[in-house]
């Protein structure tokens, strides 16, 4: 076993890398351990959208990092909304006029992770690769962590950022509440810019006629576009993600040239779960990111809120380490639990609102969407509603006014 660390972070995804960076920026000694081997690429389509608030946050953790990510990501120039194949609303972004950090940056998660890892290395944190945590035991003085490869660590605090199937969370154990909704999505990432040289545009289709009336979102990112289909149920998701089926439906919604450039196809259920507590009984383990919550990917709440957790968790650990007295240290960690669990519940509720809107189960909501589409050219605020509602309500959700 190595000497007792101040902080051990488990998992080098967006939450873990950000937590390690935040810890370093606060002068906390940190070790970051990761199950995957070095340079192992994680396949599949994941988060694209890095919000301005996150770019600012990352800039606080590592000067210049927000600008780097923003410089690599893209802003789309137009967001178009279609209803039954007909364009009903367009929102334009003046991408030339952006000064300072842009309102968002769109890039693949693996690129965001590459920038985060670069910043960690610059801050002197190299993950311990190939160390899959299998057991975690906390006690009033700290935490003992064991990995499958025989590695063993002792730390005063642990940030569990080991994702949806968190071994740390199950070791403690902490339950998740909430369930799996019947919503299912299929995401296909396509590489390359539009061969026709078209500018980057986000397209949202309500009831796409070429997809038997399913909803569809097409989102550009640096180096490609993501095509995201809202399926009717899990069986529909399975059928639509079959490689032969993808070859049939994809050319109906993007150009033939684009349809040839499939990077990967992901099929996923919309889980809406939040841990019942973000810390253990001894207040030594702090859950962050998808180890603590899972949201359906609407409104970009997954990765953005994971990075917000990470900064808050590292700050709590720093304060707890410097606290005089056990009770104060416990209190700081309990505050983290209260604030970030509340944020996660707000996030989940907002995603639930977006899912309800997209499901349009009641005759009234279907009528409202059809009516808004019909009147949007005369009443642009109805078009704006169709454009924004699939992301869920906005507005500050935390005590400090953050959006995630
Ligand atoms: C298909 C899909 C689409 C998504 N789309 C969006 C989107 O559009 N916008 C958005 O904001 N979010 C989206 N998300 C969510 C986003 O990907 C996650 O919120 C984000 O990855 C969470 O980061 P994390 O660091 O908490 O977890 P992860 O990214 O899962 O990272 C966890 C890390 O821990 C490591 N690990 C796991 N187990 C162990 C162990 N036992 N020991 C050591 N290390 C371990 C893993 O290898 C991994 O590196 C999407 C997710 C999916 C699956």
pLDDT of the residue at 60: 95
Place of tokens 């009717």: 232
Number of DSSP helices (H) and strands (E) in the chain, helices first: 12, 18
Selection from 381, 401, 385, 383 nearest residue 393 by Cα: 385
The answer on pLDDT for 375 being more than 70 is yes
Percent of the chain surpassing pLDDT 70: 96
The answer on pLDDT for 45 being more than 80 is no
- In whole angstroms, what is the distance from residue 351 CA to residue 173 CA? 26
C-alpha 290 to ligand 1 mean position (Å): 6
* Tokens coding 378: 């005369």
Taking each helix axis from N to C end, the angle separating 14-25 and 52-61, rounded to the nearest 10 degrees, works out to 40
Pocket of ligand 1 (CB under 6 A): 10-16, 33-36, 44-49, 109, 132-133, 161-164, 167, 187, 266, 268, 289-290, 297, 300-304, 306
Percent of the chain surpassing pLDDT 90: 83
Q: Which atom of ligand 1 is nearest to the CA of 18?
A: 25
Residues ≥6 apart with Cβ < 8 Å to 252? 210, 211
pLDDT band at 393 (very low <50, low <70, confident <90, very high): confident
Ligand 1 pocket, mutate which of 8, 109, 274, 310 (most atoms under 8 A from CB): 109
Q: Average pLDDT of 385-397?
A: 87
Q: Average pLDDT of 369-394?
A: 94
Q: pLDDT tens across 55-73, in order?
A: 999 999 999 999 999 999 9
Q: Average pLDDT of 115-122?
A: 98
* Tokens coding 368: 């409202």
C-alpha 191 to ligand 1 mean position (Å): 21
Hey, what CATH topology would domain 182-269 get? D-Amino Acid Oxidase; Chain A, domain 2 (3.30.9)
Indicate the SS3 state at residue 400.
Answer: coil
pLDDT of the residue at 181: 73
The listed CATH number (3.40.50.10860, 3.50.50.60, 3.90.700.10, 3.20.20.70) that belongs to domain 5-73+102-178+272-355: 3.50.50.60
Q: Which atom of ligand 1 is nearest to the CA of 36?
A: 47
Domain residues of the chain, as ranges? Answer: 5-73+102-178+272-355, 182-269
Which protein residue's CA is at the shortest distance from atom 52 of ligand 1? Answer: 46
Selection from 267, 311, 317 nearest residue 289 by Cα: 311
pLDDT of the residue at 399: 64
Residue 171 carries which DSSP code?
H
Ligand 1 pocket, mutate which of 8, 38, 43, 46 (most atoms under 8 A from CB): 46
Q: Which atom of ligand 1 is nearest to the CA of 109?
A: 17
pLDDT band at 97 (very low <50, low <70, confident <90, very high): low
The answer on pLDDT for 194 being more than 70 is no
Ligand 1 pocket, mutate which of 302, 306, 392 (most atoms under 8 A from CB): 302
pLDDT of the residue at 198: 64
Selection from 199, 220, 13, 228 nearest residue 108 by Cα: 220
The answer on pLDDT for 2 being more than 80 is no
C-alpha separations of 194 from 77, 82, 96, 225, 338 in Å: 14, 19, 20, 9, 45
Indicate the SS3 state at residue 241.
Answer: helix
pLDDT of the residue at 262: 94
Q: pLDDT tens across 126-153, in order?
A: 999 999 999 999 999 999 999 999 999 9
- In whole angstroms, what is the distance from residue 35 CA to residue 30 CA? 17
pLDDT of the residue at 195: 56
Segments of 176-288 assigned E as strands = 176-177, 180-191, 201-208, 214-221, 224-231, 262-271, 273-275, 285-287
Cβ proximity of 186 and 202 under 8 Å: no
- In whole angstroms, what is the distance from residue 201 CA to residue 139 CA? 52
Residues ≥6 apart with Cβ < 8 Å to 334? 279, 283
Q: Which atom of ligand 1 is nearest to the CA of 294?
A: 19
- In whole angstroms, what is the distance from residue 345 CA to residue 341 CA? 6
Least confident of 31-45, 95-109, 134-148, 308-322: 95-109
Which protein residue's CA is at the shortest distance from atom 27 of ligand 1? Answer: 163
Indicate the SS3 state at residue 192.
Answer: coil
- In whole angstroms, what is the distance from residue 287 CA to residue 69 CA? 25
C-alpha 274 to ligand 1 mean position (Å): 15
Alpha helices per DSSP H over 181-300 = 234-241, 243-249, 256-259
């Amino acid at each position: 076993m190595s000497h007792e660390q101040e902080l051990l972070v488990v998992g080098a995804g967006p939450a873990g890398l950000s937590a390690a960076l935040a810890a370093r920026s606060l002068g906390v000694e940190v070790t970051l351990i990761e199950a995957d081997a070095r340079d192992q690429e994680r396949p599949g389509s994941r988060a694209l959208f890095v919000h301005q608030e996150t770019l600012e946050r990352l800039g606080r953790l590592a000067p210049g990092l927000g600008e780097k990510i923003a410089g690599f990501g893209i802003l789309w120039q137009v967001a178009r909304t279609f209803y039954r194949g007909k364009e009903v609303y367009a929102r334009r972004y003046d991408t030339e006029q952006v000064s300072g950090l842009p309102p968002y940056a769109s890039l693949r998660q693996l690129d965001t992770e590459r920038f985060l890892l670069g910043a960690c290395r610059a801050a002197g944190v190299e993950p311990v690769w190939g160390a899959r945590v299998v057991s975690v035991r906390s006690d009033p003085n700290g935490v003992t962590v064991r990995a499958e490869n025989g590695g063993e660590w002792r730390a005063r605090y642990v940030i569990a950022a080991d994702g949806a199937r968190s071994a740390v969370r199950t070791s403690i154990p902490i339950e998740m509440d909430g369930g799996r909704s019947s919503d299912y999505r299929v995401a296909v990432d396509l590489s390359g810019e539009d061969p026709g040289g078209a500018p980057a545009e986000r397209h949202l289709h309500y009831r796409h006629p070429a997809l038997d009336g399913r909803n569809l979102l097409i989102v550009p990112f640096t180096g490609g576009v993501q095509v995201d289909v809202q399926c009717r149920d899990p069986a529909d998701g399975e059928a639509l993600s079959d490689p032969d089926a993808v070859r049939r439906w994809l050319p109906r919604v993007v150009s033939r040239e684009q349809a040839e450039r499939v990077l990967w196809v992901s099929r996923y259920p919309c889980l809406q779960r939040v841990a019942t507590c973000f810390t253990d009984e001894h207040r030594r383990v702090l859950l962050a990111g998808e180890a603590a919550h899972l949201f359906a990917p609407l409104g970009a709440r997954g990765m953005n809120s994971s990075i917000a957790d990470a900064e808050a968790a590292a700050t709590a650990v720093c304060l707890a380490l410097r606290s005089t007295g056990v009770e104060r240290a416990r209190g700081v960690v309990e505050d983290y639990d209260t604030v970030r669990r509340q944020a996660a519940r707000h996030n989940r509720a907002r995603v639930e609102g977006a899912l309800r809107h997209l499901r349009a189960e009641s005759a009234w909501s279907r009528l409202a969407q059809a009516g808004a589409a019909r009147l949007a050219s005369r009443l642009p605020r109805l078009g704006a509603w169709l454009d924004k509602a699939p992301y869920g309500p906005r507005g500050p959700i935390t005590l400090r006014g953050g959006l995630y």
